[in-house]
C-alpha cells in the first residue's frame, strides 16, 4: 500500500451572488468559466463536494477514499474513533464582493437532530481587507428571543448586531449559534467543522439572476441563535515573528498562526492528529520523510497523522494557519 504524504487537493470553486474576483487576482486561482467566485473549498469531506488529491502517487483519489483506506493513519487514533470515515474539518477561502447574508449555524445537537450532520463552529482569518470593510459578529447589547424578534419584525435587526471594522490579520472565532456576516471587501480564510448548514436570517432583499429572493430560515434560526452578549468578539493575539501563536482553540480544532521570515521545523510527535497548513502569505518548501512539496500563497496542505515532523524551508518568508484537533 502506498505510504501517506502531505496532500494538496484540487480546488472546488463556487460562484455566489455576492462573489468577486480576488480568488484569482489575489490568490492566483483561475475560476473560469464561472462568472465570479465567492468561495473555494480547499479541503472538504462534505458528501456533495469531496476533495480530490492533486499531487503525488495518490492523485485522483478523493478524501473519502483516503479515509476508507488509511483510517487512523490519516486522522490519528483519537480522531478516527471520534469521527470514523468522516473528515471533520472544512477549509475555505471566501471573497465577499458584497455583504453576505446575515446568518447563523446550528450546534452539534441541533444539527444532528434536524439534519443528521455536524454543527458548524468556525474561525476566520482576514487575508485582505478593502479600506473601511466591516463584518458582523454577535450582538452589541444584551438580547433575548423576544427582543430579537421585535427588532427582526420591525426591520431593525442590524441595530442590535455588533459591526466591526476589520483589517488584514484580524481573527474571529465564531462558535455555532453566533449571528454573523462577512462584509463587502473582505478576503477570508475559514476553518470550520464539516457542515454546509446555514440558516439565512436576512439577505438585504437581494434577488438572483431570475429575479427571485433567496430563501430565509427565520423559524429554524430561532432555536440556533446564541442570544448572549459578549464584551468582545475579535480574537486577541500578539503578533510575533518566528513563533507559533495560538489564535483559536476549541473541541473541534486548534489554530496557530506561524509568521516566519526564516526556515523552521515543526514537531508533531505529541499530536495524535492530522495537521492542515493554510498558506496566506509567502512561500516555502515543506520537507518530510520521503519527499518535499512546494507551498505557495493560497495552498492548503493536509499532513497525515503519521508524519510526525516536517521542515519548512523559505527564502522570502511565509505566514500560515496551522490547524489540528487536540
Q: Tell me the catalytic residues.
A: 200
* Beta bridge partners of residue 285, listed in sequence order: 294, 313
Give the span between the Cα atoms of 149 and 263, in whole angstroms: 53
Cell numbers placing 47: 458528501
Q: 243 preceded by cis ω (within 30°)?
A: no
Cell numbers placing 166: 476589520
Q: Which residues have C-beta within 8 Å of that of residue 156, sequence separation ≥ 6?
A: none
Q: How far is CA 144 from the centre of its chain?
A: 29
Sheet holding 171-174, edge to edge: 12-14, 39-43, 89-96, 186-193, 122-129, 171-174
Give the span between the Cα atoms of 86 and 74, in whole angstroms: 11
Q: Find the length of the chain.
A: 326
Amino acid at each position: 500500500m502506498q505510504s501517506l504524504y502531505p496532500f494538496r487537493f484540487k480546488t472546488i470553486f463556487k460562484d455566489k451572488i455576492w462573489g468577486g474576483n480576488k480568488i484569482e487576482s489575489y490568490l492566483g486561482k483561475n475560476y473560469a468559466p464561472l462568472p465570479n467566485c465567492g468561495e473555494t473549498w480547499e479541503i472538504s469531506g462534505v458528501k456533495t463536494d469531496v476533495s480530490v488529491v492533486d499531487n503525488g502517487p495518490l492523485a485522483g483519489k478523493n478524501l473519502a477514499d483516503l479515509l476508507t483506506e488509511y483510517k487512523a493513519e490519516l486522522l490519528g487514533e483519537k480522531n478516527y474513533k471520534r469521527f470514523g470515515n468522516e473528515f471533520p474539518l472544512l477549509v475555505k477561502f471566501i471573497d465577499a464582493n458584497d455583504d453576505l447574508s446575515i446568518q447563523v449555524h446550528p450546534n452539534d445537537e441541533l444539527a444532528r437532530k434536524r439534519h443528521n450532520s455536524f454543527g458548524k463552529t468556525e474561525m476566520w482569518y482576514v487575508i485582505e481587507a478593502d479600506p473601511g470593510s466591516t463584518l458582523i459578529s454577535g450582538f452589541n447589547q444584551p438580547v433575548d428571543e423576544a427582543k430579537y424578534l421585535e427588532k427582526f419584525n420591525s426591520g431593525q435587526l442590524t441595530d442590535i448586531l455588533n459591526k466591526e471594522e476589520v483589517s488584514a490579520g484580524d481573527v474571529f472565532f465564531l462558535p455555532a449559534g453566533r449571528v454573523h456576516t462577512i462584509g463587502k471587501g473582505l478576503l477570508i480564510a475559514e476553518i470550520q467543522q464539516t457542515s454546509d448548514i446555514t440558516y439565512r436570517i436576512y439577505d438585504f432583499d437581494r434577488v438572483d439572476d431570475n429575479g427571485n429572493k433567496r430563501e430565509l430560515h427565520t423559524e429554524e434560526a430561532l432555536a440556533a441563535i446564541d442570544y448572549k452578549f459578549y464584551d468582545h468578539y475579535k480574537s486577541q493575539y500578539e503578533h510575533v515573528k518566528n513563533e507559533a501563536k495560538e489564535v483559536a482553540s476549541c473541541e473541534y480544532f486548534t489554530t496557530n498562526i506561524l509568521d516566519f521570515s526564516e526556515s523552521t521545523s515543526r514537531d508533531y510527535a505529541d499530536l495524535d492528529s492530522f495537521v492542515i497548513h493554510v498558506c496566506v502569505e509567502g512561500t516555502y518548501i515543506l520537507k518530510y520523510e520521503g519527499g518535499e512539496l512546494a507551498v505557495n500563497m493560497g495552498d492548503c496542505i493536509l499532513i497525515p497523522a503519521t508524519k510526525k515532523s516536517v521542515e519548512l524551508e523559505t527564502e522570502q518568508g511565509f505566514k500560515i494557519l496551522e490547524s489540528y484537533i487536540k
